Amino acid sequence: MQNPAHPNLTDEALPVENDLTPTPEVLDCAVENDLEGLTAYLFHGESQKVREDAALAIGMMMGESAVEAFIELFSQEDRHLRLAASWGLSAVGAPAVTSLIAALAEGDTPTRTWAAYTLGSIGHSSAESPLAGALEDENPQVRWWAGWALDQILQRQSTCSNC
């Protein structure tokens, strides 16, 4: 995705439309509650789809107990792993928001960037104020993704009267 106001700000790691059908190997591990197998697919899956599916399954299985481990992956060099971690945190949902807000305030640049993106994906209204603060971040990527995340949250609020 490219920011038209700042054409040099891009992130090729943004997700594209994902096939919602889980990959068979990940589905088998999830049905068997095989956390070790899912973790192996997360780190060594043969495709991004397998890695994302594994992260989603881990997030759904482990819930809040997986949050800190996923956030730590935001500092990894492998952008595909960072994306998969974001998907896992999105599967955890609202219980991940407090830790993501802390990462947005205290993490290194990649962690702050991915925390902003993931907060926008989750869309919880409690992230509004911290994301507004991140609009003043020293890093332009963090600022841009904080703005994107705020837009996502505000769009959800305008379409959901009971949110």
- CATH topology (fold) of 17-92: Leucine-rich Repeat Variant (1.25.10)
Tell me the pLDDT tens digit for each residue of 15-59. Answer: 444 567 889 999 999 999 999 999 999 999 999 999 999 999 999
Q: Does domain 94-163 have CATH number 1.20.120.1200?
A: no
Structure confidence by residue, pLDDT tens digits, 53-101: 999 999 999 999 999 999 999 999 999 999 999 999 999 999 999 999 9
Residue pair 10/2 in contact by the 8 Å Cβ criterion: yes
Segments making up each domain of the chain, as ranges = 17-92, 94-163
The pTM score is: 0.79
17-92 and 94-163: identical CATH topology: yes
Q: How many CA atoms lie less than 13 Å away from 117 in the CB half-sphere? A: 24
C-alpha distances out from residue 9 to 12, 72, 104, Å? 10, 23, 19
In the block, residue with structure tokens 């997986």:
66
